[in-house]
Amino acid sequence: MLVIPAVDIQSGRAVRLFEGDPRQETVYYENPVEAALHWQKQGAQMLHLVDLDAATGRGENRAVLRAVAESITVPLEVGGGIRSLEAAREILALGASRVVVGTVAVKAPEVLGQMLREFGPERVVVSLDARGLEVVVSGWAEGTALRVQDISQRIWEMGVRTLIYTDVRRDGTLAGLDLEVVREVRAAWPGFLIAGGGIASDADLEGLQTLGVEGAITGKAIYEGRIDLRKWV
């Protein structure tokens, strides 16, 4: 299974949020480049970067993203506030291997379609962030009353082949995964599935393997030494 370290960037620093609340941050690295280099040295095969300021409309960290891309050799995927074709072009031009989009997949599927046509499914990943199975958007601030299963079917038909599912009720809490919910997502998604949100131990990763989930995004658990990334690469 592909275990992907998360480097979440807020106000230029590498942080983790509690349940996505920007006011409840833990700073792990003042310089996100140091975080990226650390996880690369530990054997990471890919990094997951999120511009938290762009996701919530408070600003952006493009210069930091570029610095990370120029400093590492492993592929990186970048998400956070990518809601237009031009924004996706800019992130890929910075050096990202692929863009991660969420809100546009729900609110502007025509933009997602444009991205897929221009960049191909190997460079466009959809992230469905949800409270359980209800999808939320706009930096997790807005509910949609839409279910993961419904949107996943639609985006599969559009040509998306990689899906990230994050349970925002648990993200950054070290509460462990809700594997029964992940089981439902796995049943609904025929493509490459990456899960995250609350991963706390090797047992969570082993549970994902049992469900046939191909990838996992983890942040706080590896930053705090609960999971040794080297065991999973």
Interval 105-140: pLDDT, tens? 999 999 999 999 999 999 999 999 999 999 998 766
Q: What is the pLDDT of residues 19-41, one digit of tens each?
A: 556 677 789 999 999 999 999 99
The stretch 129-152 carries a mean pLDDT of 87
Q: Which of 21-25, 90-94, 169-173, 194-198 has the lowest mean pLDDT?
A: 21-25
Asked if residues 49 and 55 have their Cβ atoms less than 8 Å apart, the reply is no
Instruction: Say what the pLDDT of residue 117 is.
Output: 98
Short-list 194, 196, 200, CA closest to 220: 200
Total Cβ atoms within 10 A of residue 120: 12
Crossing angle of the two packed helices 62-71 and 32-41, in degrees rounded to 10: 30
Distance CA 55, CA 58 (A): 8
Selected residue with higher pLDDT from 171 and 88: 88
When pLDDT is cut at 50, 70 and 90, the band that residue 171 belongs to is confident
Asked if residues 19 and 168 have their Cβ atoms less than 8 Å apart, the reply is yes
User: What's the pTM value of the predicted model, to 2 decimals?
Assistant: 0.94
Q: What is the pLDDT of residues 176-221, one digit of tens each?
A: 999 999 999 999 999 999 999 889 999 999 999 999 999 999 999 9
State the DSSP H helix or E strand holding residue 27, giving kind and residue range, or none if neither. Answer: strand 21-29
Instruction: Say what the pLDDT of residue 137 is.
Output: 86
Homologous superfamily of the 2-228 domain (CATH): Aldolase class I (3.20.20.70)
Q: Which residues are catalytic?
A: 8, 129
Residue 142 Cα distances to 8, 37, 133, 145, 161, angstroms? 20, 34, 14, 10, 25
Q: Which of 141-150, 161-170, 178-187 has the lowest mean pLDDT?
A: 141-150
Q: Is residue 94 helix, strand or coil?
A: helix
